[in-house]
């Protein structure tokens, strides 16, 4: 077709769509029809086959190809994937109803899911942002050097405590968790300098946990508090304070968001500890994984 070598750089850095509409006037009538279709609904165009698009533009496939070349593409397939990418990039802003944190009475499940996920993800992200790596480092240090580690938590935080204990145990650390206050108190009384006690309480006001932590501290153990409120009572008995950042607006989603935030912190500590001796941790994990292998059935096969 002997078009003279254009030096206009097939760059089109801004949107492809913008690029196309820019040179729309320079296209032939039939090509313009194609261009208008493409610009008005890129995603739809990307779905169509070349014949389909040609028909929709009331022209032939040949013209569509010419159009592709005119806008700097190699051929139709390339245009297609570029359009798909372009269309996907325009992110729709998060639903306004979702951000508030509370769930409106008439909400359908899709809305509920979106709201919860949004809050949960935010809690995780924001917690990580405000976590002080230096403090974490010190806690990790303490745990790595500890003769014994005890983790306390009541109610919902008890799950987190138990989870932490189990994780540490799996990589060969001497960690304990006691669901019962009395047992916990007894055990804390046996802690000594060099040991570590971790108290988890979202509100920071759980009497049992504070009491146990206090006991541990009196015995010389290093104490760590994990709470959402940096000035709550539990921080008074802790050498190290780690905070989560759950907004906790409502009784509904807040509870879970704070849980996830706590778990994230726990995971960070765990990985930090494991990273101190990767080989040993990996070996321990493999051994424990093997231990439950017989309790698994073969990988499922697909159905239809």
- Residue 61, interface with DNA (CB under 7 A)? yes
Does position 66 interact with DNA (CB under 7 A)? The reply is: yes
125 binds, among a copy of itself, DNA, none (CB under 5 to 8 A by kind): a copy of itself
Query: ∠ CA(37), CA(40), CA(45), 5° rounding?
Result: 55
DSSP codes of every residue in 179-194: SSHHHHHHHHTT--TT
18 binds, among a copy of itself, DNA, none (CB under 5 to 8 A by kind): none
> Coil, strand or helix: which one is 152?
strand
Q: Which is nearer to DNA, 53 or 274 (CB)?
A: 53
Residue with tokens 């639903």, as numbered in its chain: 95
Strand 222-227 and strand 196-200: pairing? parallel
Measured in whole angstroms, how far is the alpha carbon of residue 270 from the centre of its chain?
17
User: If contact means CB under 5 to 8 A according to the sort of partner, which of DNA, a copy of itself, none does residue 183 touch?
Assistant: none
Q: Which does 76 bind (CB under 5 to 8 A by kind): a copy of itself, DNA, none?
A: DNA
For DNA (CB under 7 A), the number of binding residues is: 22
Q: Token pair for residue 174?
A: 């001497």
Least Cβ distance, residue 192 to a copy of itself (angstroms) = 26
Pick one of 37, 59, 123, 217: the residue that binds DNA (CB under 7 A).
59
Footprint on residues 30-49 left by DNA (CB under 7 A): 30-31, 49
Which entry of DNA, a copy of itself, none binds 61, CB below 5 to 8 A by partner kind? DNA
Q: Which is nearer to DNA, 28 or 186 (CB)?
A: 28
Identify whether the C-beta of residue 139 lies closer than 8 Å to the C-beta of residue 225: no
Is the CB of residue 195 less than 8 Å from the CB of residue 147?
yes
Tell me how far apart the alpha carbons of residues 144 and 160 are, in angstroms, rounded to a whole number.
Answer: 20
Angle of helix 133-144 relative to helix 253-276, nearest 10 degrees?
Answer: 60
- The Cα–Cα gap between 52 and 30 comes to 15
From the list a copy of itself, DNA, none, pick the one residue 30 interacts with, judged by a Cβ distance below 5 to 8 Å according to partner type.
DNA
Q: In the complex, what is the shortest distance from the CB of residue 184 to a copy of itself, in angstroms, rounded to a whole number?
A: 13
Residue ranges in 71-130 that form contacts with DNA under rule CB under 7 A: 74-77, 80
* Contact set with DNA (CB under 7 A): 28-31, 49-51, 58-63, 65-66, 68, 74-77, 80, 301
């Amino acid at each position: 077709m002997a078009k003279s070598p254009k030096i206009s750089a097939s760059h089109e850095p801004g949107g492809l769509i913008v690029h196309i509409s820019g040179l729309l006037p320079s296209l032939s009538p039939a090509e313009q029809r194609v261009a208008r279709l493409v610009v008005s609904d890129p995603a739809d165009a990307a779905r169509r086959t070349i014949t389909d698009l040609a028909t929709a533009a009331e022209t032939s496939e040949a013209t569509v190809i010419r159009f592709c070349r005119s806008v700097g593409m190699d051929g139709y397939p390339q245009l297609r994937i570029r359009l798909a990418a372009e269309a996907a990039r325009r992110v729709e802003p998060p639903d306004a109803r979702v951000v508030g944190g509370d769930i409106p009475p008439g909400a359908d499940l899709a809305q509920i899911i979106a709201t919860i996920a949004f809050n949960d993800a935010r809690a995780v992200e924001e917690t990580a942002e405000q976590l002080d790596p230096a403090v974490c480092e010190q806690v990790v240090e303490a745990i790595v050097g500890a003769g014994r580690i005890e983790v306390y938590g009541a109610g919902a935080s008890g799950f987190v405590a138990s989870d932490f204990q189990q994780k540490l145990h799996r990589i060969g650390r001497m960690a304990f968790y006691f669901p019962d206050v009395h047992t916990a108190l007894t055990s804390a009384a046996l802690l000594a300098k060099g040991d570590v006690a971790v108290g988890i309480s979202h509100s920071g006001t759980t009497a049992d946990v504070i009491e146990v932590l206090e006991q541990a501290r009196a015995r010389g153990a290093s104490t760590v508090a994990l709470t959402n409120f940096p000035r709550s009572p539990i921080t008074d008995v802790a050498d190290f304070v780690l905070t989560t950042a759950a907004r906790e607006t409502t009784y509904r989603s807040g509870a879970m968001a704070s849980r996830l935030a706590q778990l994230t912190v726990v995971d960070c500590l765990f990985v930090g500890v494991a990273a101190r001796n990767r080989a040993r941790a990996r070996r321990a994990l493999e051994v424990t994984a093997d231990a439950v292998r017989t309790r698994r059935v073969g990988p499922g096969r697909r159905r239809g």
